Amino acid sequence: MLLLLNHSAMAQTNDKLTLEECYQLAKINYPAIQKLDLVAKTSDLEVQNASKRFLPQLSFSGQATYQSQAISFANALASLPMGASLPSVSKDQYKIQGEINQLLYDGGITHSQKELIKANSALQAQNIEGVLYAIKHRINGLFFSILLIEAQLKQNELNKVSLATQIQKTEAALANGIAFRSNVDELKAEILNLEMIHTDYQSNRTAYLQMLSLFIGKTLPANIQLVLNETDLAETTLNRPEIKAFELQKSIFDKQEKQLKVDYLPQINAFFQSAYGRPTLNIIENKFGPWYITGIRFNWSLGSLYTSKNKKRILNLNRQVVDADKEIFLLNTKIDLTLQEEQILKYQSLLNQDEKAIALRQSVTRSAEAQLANGVITTHEYIQKINAEHLARQSLILHQIQLLQAKYNKKYLSGN
């Protein structure tokens, strides 16, 4: 792994960027992060609104009516002394009324509503966390792609140095008349080919850096140094945000079930009514005037008892659906983790084979250098041998990066 840890030695700056920093910056920069604050503010306002049910409620009303009949005392006149009279009530009546209503006891409905609001808010926030967590997978892809390209660039430079040394030897042999100009030209053509490969690698690195810059909201210079901090990659305990979301969803059902119990509890209110109109409470006066009424209201509706049993069954069914979704998620995650574990074992085995192949190719290259110097093989054959060693080293680099990426993918899948 030494090659990977030193991949950015070419950088001429102390600017460094770790994978963990990329995670943090990407989370802050991603538009969905704004939803977390919006969900929290919305929840606070809804809780405040629910609490205001216990504030005094003021209402006004008014009416003007005409009725076909009014209270009559005509039948009572016969029993009265001569000359006596009884008042009459007008058929047109008027009333302007104001009422203050104070909730004293609501059976726990307000508390239940506030708890349900908070639970829904927590679930929304956790779902957003799941979206933000998924960004890590995309960051991993970009980060390790850049690491791979940088390692390939370094190996490409080492290959150029090796060929440049051979060109010097061949030019010396040409000066002594024991080599052909075509031998030198063929080696220079191979270096030109490596320079073209360098251009291609560099272009791809620039493109990936720009994509990473967009994700993290920070312009990355061309000589930025990407760093992998040492971390525990062996942890396999599942700690994904989706798991917490499943539990929060079930907690909502628990709170909804509690709300079913308070729906059929009584409510008690204190009230004060004040009015002005005709007639007053003393209707026999039949004139305009003020009056008031105050007291306690008791309301107990048992209609919810008819549907309570079925609602509980629905909530239990919803819990079972969430449990099934959770089991599906856990199964798929474990399958993905098993795949990554197998990938890790595969790349570890390939790395051992790569090292053996490089040792053999290196031995062949050294022998080819001596054979070329003695005119036993042609320059073209020598280039084939050195390219074979170059490909073996590129294979080692690829498998090193793939091994690291598989370990970090495993870390991502486990939520650690």
Low-confidence ranges of the chain (pLDDT < 70): 1-14, 73-87, 230-236
On whether the pTM is more than 0.85, the answer is no
State the DSSP code for 285: G
Asked if 289 and 275 touch (Cβ cutoff 8 Å), the reply is no
How far does CA 88 lie from the centroid of its chain? 75
Q: What confidence score (pLDDT) does residue 3 get? A: 40
Q: What confidence score (pLDDT) does residue 316 get? A: 95
Residue-range domain boundaries for the chain:
2-55+107-263+318-414
With tokens 């539990």, the residue in question is 247
H or E, element range at 267: strand 267-278
**List of residues 6+ apart from 289 with CB closer than 8 A:** 276, 277, 278, 280
Of 218, 168, 226, give the one whose Cα is nearest residue 15.
226
Range 2-55+107-263+318-414: architecture per CATH: Up-down Bundle (1.20)
Q: What confidence score (pLDDT) does residue 2 get? A: 36
Of 207, 58, 208, 37, give the one whose Cα is nearest residue 128.
37
Residue-level length of the chain:
416
60 - beta bridge partners?
A: 98
296 - beta bridge partners?
A: 270
Give the Cα separation of 165 and 386 in Å (integer): 13
Q: What confidence score (pLDDT) does residue 230 get? A: 65
pLDDT tens across 345-354, in order? 999 999 999 9
Give the Cα separation of 331 and 350 in Å (integer): 29
Give the Cα separation of 98 and 272 in Å (integer): 8
Q: In one letter, which amino acid is 371? A: Q
State the DSSP code for 225: E
- Please give the torsion angle defined by the CA atoms of residues 371, 374, 377 and 379, in that order, rounded to the nearest 10 degrees: 100
Angle between helices 19-29 and 109-175 (to 10 degrees): 130
Main-chain dihedrals φ then ψ at residue 30, nearest 5 degrees: -70, 135
With tokens 């726990």, the residue in question is 108
8: number of CA atoms within 13 Å, CB side? 21
Q: In one letter, which amino acid is 284? A: I
Q: Is 276 helix (H, G, I), strand (E, B) or coil?
A: strand
Give the Cα separation of 191 and 188 in Å (integer): 5
The two three-digit tokens of residue 384, written as one number: 């084939």
How far does CA 281 lie from the centroid of its chain? 64
> What is the tally of helices (H) and strands (E) in the chain?
8, 6
Asked if 283 and 345 touch (Cβ cutoff 8 Å), the reply is no
